[in-house]
A and B are shown apart, each in its own frame.
Chain A
């Protein structure tokens, strides 16, 4: 009898405290509400509008007809045309396009002979994108009004598909580099978001702000140790990825280091900004989760960026993880160099600087 009363007392107290922590209370409602709407709309396992290029070596009418028929499948969106397969490959490595359709010189003869019309060169580093393009392998071609669809057999598919970077379509190859983005997002933001809040909660802050320390000195000093934490973590993930899952580094180590540091910087400073917003470590943790969920689901880690609706892509572009996933897949799987991936690198560096400035501006050496 007494026991029931005590349980009710504890539950009532807990509820009262929860309702007085406006951030926590807000998160209770906001996390399911916003994130469900966001992901419900954004997550689309049906891959569409993959950006591709056409390399037409034949210059024939048939090539234009084929390009049009490929376009109307809506699986791909033709965003560029290149003159040589080499140019198209470079664009794939740089991440500008996901695949290119190469139509050979003798295209009209091949079509007449019922042979394979052309070849898709596909970036296989995202397995879902790879699968979607593989489906084009046996798409029917209708060359002239009235003629029946080409009779292509398994021996002569419509297109050949060459999956670059991950020919066996192993999901580990796709997942391991992407996982670095998720794990670093989680730990980097979590560590720093609690950093200033902890000093405030434990009372250290009041002493610290009566010293001549400049907010920027405090911020940078707080971040430096976590840069090393981040480096240790990424070394573990990629090291194990190599040893256990056999995911080798195709790019150069220096490029990997550059993009990783840019991403660590962006995540740490984002955590720092949260640290100036949250009043308690509990709030800091919830804000971290609020960032982490879209970083997992909208960054291209689980579902292809190309398959998302435009609005979701805008949100995705705001997340450091999105840019890093592009970068690390580029460097790690496609062997891209930092110079080919400048937009995403500059975005991360700009984000880092912006977050640091806002966090420093928000941090006041007063208790007002």
Chain B
């Protein structure tokens, strides 16, 4: 048994002239939460759909759980759970009815299905709303129901496409706890998001932008790669400072965050860039500090930096 859940080589998808996914190579290990981070339209959903056999790749090879996709998509369907970006259960069925329906579609024997449903109602705190129609549930409740249904048949691999987009922060935190529980049981979870805080929780991350894979690795490692390149400037009149900073060749991006200006230096900016910045930005009483890179810096570096180069 391999330690890799998903491998792709040169995975591409074109819709007419649009290149939605461009030669993506992925190696997704088993038993981890693997994140796809990228803005809308970066190819996250298209990639997930190709991985579960819903879309046929224009080019490239895909192997999921040892199965060639899309050729063996039908065999794969028994072993994966999929949570679509848009809520895709039946609004006019109740929680339990939705679960029973999907359990039967997956071919679970009645006894086993009932037991599993009881277990999942408990686990995802849906017990009190078992008779409620999905249409009358909040975003967080619907999302827990969708996750419960995605895991009904105990799949080895879960695809979650922006599962928390309609959920408040409190529920998002709970949701991630559930994901870690699943990983503890040996499941592999592939989750797409455009939230930095969520991305940071993943074991590994792929940063996607306009269909291309820009970075792949553990979040900490991706952030560490930007060490010494993020500088915070405090002081007055930051809007003008920002405009000046963006003129400098070593400044890749500048973003105001409340009382400070966050500067990302280009990759080839040498040590001592902070001194040069200090000299060139002629504004009174500015305070310069090298600071710890965040995932957002990684993201900005991927998206803007690569475009500049």
Contacts and interface: CB of A to CB of B under 8 A. Distances in A.
B257 interface: no
B55 interface: yes
**Contact count band on B:** 20 to 34
B106 A211 contact: yes
B84 A209 contact: no
Interface in A192-224: 202-213
B89 A211 contact: no
**Contact count band on A:** 10 to 19
Interface stretch (B72-80, B195-203, B243-251, B295-303): B72-80
A141 to B, nearest CB: 70
Main secondary structure of the interface of B (DSSP, over half): loop
Between B87, B88, B107, B149, the greatest number of chain A beta carbons within 10 A of the residue's beta carbon is seen for: B88
B84 A203 contact: yes
A237 B48 CA distance: 51
B86 interface: yes
A213 B78 CA distance: 10
Contacts of B56: 366, 368
Contacts, number: 56
A208 B102 CA distance: 8
B90 interface: yes
A248 to B, nearest CB: 41
Contacts of A368: 55-56
Nearest to B70: A366
A210 to B, nearest CB: 4
Contacts of A206: 54, 82, 84, 86, 88
A212 B80 contact: no
Nearest to A217: B105
B54 A212 contact: no
B107 A212 contact: yes
Interface string B85-110: 01111110000000000100111000
A202 B86 CA distance: 9
B53 A366 contact: yes
Contacts of A205: 88
B53 A212 contact: no
B189 interface: no
A26 B143 CA distance: 40
Contacts of B91: 202
A57 B187 CA distance: 88
Interface of B: 49, 52-56, 70, 73-74, 77-78, 80, 82, 84, 86-91, 102, 105-107, 149
28 contacts: A203-B86, A203-B87, A203-B88, A204-B88, A204-B89, A206-B86, A206-B88, A207-B82, A207-B84, A207-B149, A208-B105, A209-B54, A210-B54, A210-B82, A211-B77, A211-B102, A211-B105, A211-B106, A212-B74, A212-B77, A212-B78, A212-B105, A213-B105, A365-B73, A366-B53, A366-B73, A368-B55, A368-B56
